[in-house]
């Protein structure tokens, strides 16, 4: 890495850490209960290892902060980081900045899994919904990958197989909803995404899956850089494109499945954040992947803060907030991509 690229990456890491810390502070302080900003910041810093900083929060405010807001902030950061990292990983595999997990059957599979659980159980076992969404998401990506590799090993074939599987799973979901119209509201409430029920238990449930998948994807950053020059060139440099593609796709699928299981479907994070990171710090996946993780975490924490405060005491679905922000950004991505090609 040249000195200029290294300097650009260092600035990107510094900005990402500041952005995530600011997002966590805003998310912890904003809400119906009025918490003192300085006392809230002191209470958060006091939880860091080897740091003792007495704060001024009373028992009730501390309960609001550590039992209600902080689990939601931490879960939002995990979900946002996972979706953004998965999007960046998929874009590296397919050499296309407009790809994310929704194009490989992950979102459609999760939606179908959640719909089956809601329709068949009728709300008697809500704990089964995230499990069904997790299994459906992984199954959707697995079907897409098997269909894509059966038709050839090119990235275009795999992407087209993902689109076909997504359309098929969405059609099945629509059929189920048509036959169970009384469940439509509950299904769409889940599909639009929410972190309203976030708990420390959910954080601990998804953390191992996200940690393993994130570690594998981050370790493949250099391989994705090599893969970006083309499969033949990568083979000439000693890389096995098929193995790299399988490892990254499987890890991204696990990250996205874990995220949607606890949050519902949240769009645009996996497209907008990695593309903004490339504009900030360059195109090397050794930098894009970790920065996408950090910026994605901060982005979703801020989006969730907007979702629960802008129409308080009601809440907006977080998927609506990310779509309102992501749609204009997506148009900008299309325009900038066309400008580069011309």
pLDDT at position 1, please? Answer: 64
In the chain, % of residues over pLDDT 70: 94
pLDDT at position 123, please? Answer: 61
pLDDT at position 101, please? Answer: 78
pLDDT at position 87, please? Answer: 92
pLDDT at position 136, please? Answer: 86
Burial (CB count <10 Å: 0-12, 13-18, 19+), residue 5: middle
**Mean residue pLDDT across the chain:** 85
pLDDT at position 337, please? Answer: 59
Res. 341: pLDDT tops 60: no
**Closest C-alpha to 203, from 311, 87, 315, 77:** 77
End-to-end Cα spacing for the chain = 28
Digit-coded pLDDT (tens) for 245-279: 889 988 998 898 888 888 888 888 888 899 889 88
Digit-coded pLDDT (tens) for 89-143: 999 988 887 788 777 888 888 888 888 888 887 666 667 888 888 888 888 888 8
Digit-coded pLDDT (tens) for 67-86: 999 999 999 999 999 999 99
**pLDDT class of 200 with cuts at 50, 70, 90:** very high
Res. 334: pLDDT tops 70: no
The more confident residue out of 48 and 221 is: 221
In the chain, % of residues over pLDDT 90: 27
Res. 342: pLDDT tops 60: no
pLDDT at position 61, please? Answer: 87
pLDDT at position 339, please? Answer: 56
């Amino acid at each position: 890495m040249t000195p200029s690229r290294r300097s650009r990456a260092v600035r990107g890491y510094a900005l990402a850490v500041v952005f995530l810390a600011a997002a966590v502070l805003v998310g912890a302080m904003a809400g119906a209960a009025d918490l003192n900003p300085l006392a809230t910041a002191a209470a958060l810093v006091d939880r860091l290892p080897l740091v003792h900083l007495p704060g001024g929060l009373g028992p009730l405010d501390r309960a609001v902060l550590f039992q209600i807001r902080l689990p939601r902030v931490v879960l939002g950061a995990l979900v946002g980081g996972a979706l953004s990292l998965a999007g960046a990983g998929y874009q590296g595999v397919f050499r296309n900045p407009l790809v994310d997990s929704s194009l490989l059957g992950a979102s459609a599979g999760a939606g179908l899994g959640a719909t089956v659980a809601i329709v068949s159980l009728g709300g008697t076992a809500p704990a089964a919904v995230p499990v069904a969404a997790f299994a459906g998401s992984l199954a959707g990506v697995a079907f897409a990958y098997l269909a894509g590799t059966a038709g050839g090993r090119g990235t275009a074939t795999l992407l087209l197989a993902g689109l076909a599987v997504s359309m098929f799973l969405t059609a099945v979901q629509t059929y189920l909803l048509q036959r169970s119209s009384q469940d439509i509201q509950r299904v769409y409430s889940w599909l639009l995404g929410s972190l309203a029920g976030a708990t420390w238990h959910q954080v601990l449930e998804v953390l191992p899956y996200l940690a393993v998948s994130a570690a594998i994807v981050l370790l493949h950053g250099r391989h994705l850089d090599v893969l970006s020059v083309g499969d033949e060139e990568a083979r000439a440099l000693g890389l096995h494109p098929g193995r790299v593609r399988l490892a990254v796709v499987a890890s991204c699928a696990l990250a996205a499945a874990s995220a949607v299981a606890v949050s519902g479907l949240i769009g645009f994070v996996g497209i907008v954040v990695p593309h903004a990171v490339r504009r900030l710090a360059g195109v090397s996946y050794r930098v894009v992947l970790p920065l996408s993780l950090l910026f994605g975490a901060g982005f979703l924490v801020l989006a969730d803060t907007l979702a629960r405060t802008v129409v308080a005491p009601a809440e907006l679905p977080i998927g609506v907030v990310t779509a309102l922000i992501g749609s204009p950004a997506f148009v900008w991505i299309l325009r900038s991509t066309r400008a580069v090609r011309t």
